[in-house]
């Protein structure tokens, strides 16, 4: 395992230095360890392992300049893989598992009460600045990860977290005042 990591780091560093052949060899060599990593965590029969491997390879390629040459390669690589797996599982959680024609049978018919709740929520959210409102809608209602929502709104993930936190606090205070 130590030898494998040393070889992967060597290929990675050569690829960073502009050796295209070493970079291709690196991408081929890292594929199997990534597959094993995802099989162990997602289950051997998981159908999307290859998709997550591809996403991870793309992320490694895109983020390769962030690799600190003085650090171990494995932790950096598997951190990228872990985040890609989490992103994939979050997206998978939003996937519809039934035909939309069956939605009313599953969720029940839309009621006056659910319409009133949506209206009240829309009114409450409208009191927030546009970017803050959109970040809350993306993360709390649409199911996007914080990173995805930040990218959609053109802000850093840290700024998105702060904005959502402050927005939810403001909404809570405003809702409490309205209730009193």
Q: CATH 1.10.1740.10 in the chain, residues?
A: 2-94
DSSP state of 110: -
pLDDT at 111 over 70: no
* Side-chain-side CA neighbours of residue 173 (13 Å): 8
Q: Which two tokens stand for residue 65?
A: 């300049």
**Per-residue pLDDT at 107:** 46
pLDDT digits (tens, 9 = 90+) for 70-103: 888 888 888 898 888 888 888 877 544 444 444 4
**Per-residue pLDDT at 105:** 43
Mean pLDDT of 154-176: 88
Q: CATH 1.10.10.10 in the chain, residues?
A: 115-179
**Per-residue pLDDT at 44:** 72
**Per-residue pLDDT at 86:** 87
The more confidently predicted of residues 104 and 69 is 69
Tell me if 106 sits within 8 A of 98, measured CB to CB.
yes
Mean confidence (pLDDT) of the chain: 81
Topology at the third CATH level for domain 115-179: Arc Repressor Mutant, subunit A (1.10.10)
Q: According to DSSP H, which parts of 43-156 are helical?
A: 49-63, 73-94, 103-107, 112-125, 130-136, 146-153
Taking the domain 2-94, which CATH number applies? 1.10.1740.10
pLDDT digits (tens, 9 = 90+) for 127-137: 889 999 899 88
pLDDT at 124 over 50: yes
Residue 158 φ then ψ, to 5°? -60, -45
**CA-only gyration radius of the chain, Å:** 22
pLDDT at 108 over 50: no
């Amino acid at each position: 395992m130590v030898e494998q990591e040393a070889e992967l780091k060597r290929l990675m560093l050569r690829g960073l230095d502009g050796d295209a052949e070493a970079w291709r060899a690196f991408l081929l060599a890292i594929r199997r360890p990534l597959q094993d990593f995802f099989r162990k965590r997602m289950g051997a029969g998981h159908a999307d392992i290859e998709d997550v491997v591809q996403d991870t390879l793309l992320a490694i390629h895109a983020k390769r300049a962030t690799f600190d040459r003085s650090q171990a390669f494995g932790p950096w690589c598997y951190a990228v893989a872990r985040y890609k797996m989490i992103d994939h599982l979050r997206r998978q959680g939003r996937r519809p598992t039934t035909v939309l024609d069956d939605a009313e049978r599953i969720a029940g018919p839309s009621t006056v009460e659910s319409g009133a709740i949506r209206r009240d929520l829309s009114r409450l959210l409208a009191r927030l600045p546009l970017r803050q409102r959109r970040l809350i809608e993306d993360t709390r209602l649409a199911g996007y990860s914080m990173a995805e929502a930040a990218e959609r709104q053109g802000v850093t993930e840290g700024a998105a977290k702060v904005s959502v936190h402050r927005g939810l606090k403001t909404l809570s205070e405003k809702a409490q005042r309205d209730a009193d």
